[in-house]
């Protein structure tokens, strides 16, 4: 049996305070459910910063995926464009950091 490698797509970003409620509502009820349906997405978990000794982004989302190329696929891009995310939230995000990690066997 072929061993599969898992990857972690880490998305970190900030959103102005006045958009936080709408950001969290749309992220939880639209964006994550659409992305989670993309073949190859193994799981999604969101986080908010509680404390740090470095100036990092307030929000982080971990996407467990089966391929490092998945976030660049047409299926991912189409899912990401659904709902109000692209029009109401994306224009207000800032300080985005996108990182792909490979699981160490």
Q: 44 - beta bridge partners?
A: 63
Q: Domain segments of the chain: what residues?
A: 7-102
In this structure, are residues 10 and 101 in contact, taking their beta carbons and an 8 Å threshold? yes
Q: The whole model's pTM is what? A: 0.91
The pLDDT mean for the chain works out to 94
- Which CATH topology does 7-102 take? Alpha-Beta Plaits (3.30.70)
In this structure, are residues 81 and 38 in contact, taking their beta carbons and an 8 Å threshold? no
Compute φ and ψ for 34, nearest 5 degrees: -65, -45
- At 17 the pLDDT is 95
The predicted-structure confidence for 21-46, as pLDDT tens digits, reads as follows 999 999 999 999 999 999 999 999 99
Higher pLDDT, 4 or 87: 87
């Amino acid at each position: 049996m072929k061993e599969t490698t898992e990857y972690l797509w880490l998305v970190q970003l900030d959103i102005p305070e006045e958009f936080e409620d709408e950001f969290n509502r749309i992220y939880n009820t639209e964006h994550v459910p659409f992305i989670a349906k993309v073949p190859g997405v193994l799981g999604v978990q969101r986080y908010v910063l509680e404390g740090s000794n470095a100036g990092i982004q307030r929000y982080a989302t971990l996407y467990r995926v089966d391929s490092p190329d998945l976030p660049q696929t047409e299926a991912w891009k189409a899912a990401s464009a659904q709902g109000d995310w692209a029009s109401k939230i994306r224009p207000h995000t800032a300080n985005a950091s996108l990182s792909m990690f490979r699981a160490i066997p």
